[in-house]
Amino acid sequence: MALQIVDGCVNCWACEPLCPSQAIYAAIPHFLIDAKKCTECDGDYADKQCASICPIEEAIVDSQGEALNPPGSLTGIPPERWEQVRAEIQAR
């Protein structure tokens, strides 16, 4: 049971200091999670810390490969509303 950082990570460092297990480390081309150390924050926090501060949708996935921050979750705009919101913003 471990989380994974995948392509899309922009190396912003936000997750690294928060990990209660020190499982996250800087690497090239992007940060990585040591699967042996990652506890998914069980016993430490209700929310998975790295995923709770990550600013990039789909950059952190669970052991099933499911994105913890799926598309639309961080902008607050579901993909199906994207075009409508874009039109509203451009009318400003």
Residues binding other proteins (CB under 8 A): 10-14, 16-18, 45-47, 49, 52-53, 55-56, 74-76, 85-86, 89-92
CB of 78 to other proteins, least distance (A): 13
Q: What gap in Å lies between CA 21 and CA 44, rounded to an integer?
A: 9
Q: Between residues 36 and 87, which has the closer beta carbon with respect to other proteins?
A: 87
Q: Between residues 32 and 56, which has the closer beta carbon with respect to other proteins?
A: 56
Q: What gap in Å lies between CA 65 and CA 3, rounded to an integer?
A: 9
CB of 82 to other proteins, least distance (A): 8
Helix intervals (H) in 1-92 = 49-53, 82-90
Report the SS3 class of residue 90.
Answer: helix
CB of 81 to other proteins, least distance (A): 12
Q: Between residues 25 and 45, which has the closer beta carbon with respect to other proteins?
A: 45
Q: Between residues 36 and 84, which has the closer beta carbon with respect to other proteins?
A: 84
Report the SS3 class of residue 86.
Answer: helix
Q: What gap in Å lies between CA 81 and CA 18, rounded to an integer?
A: 32
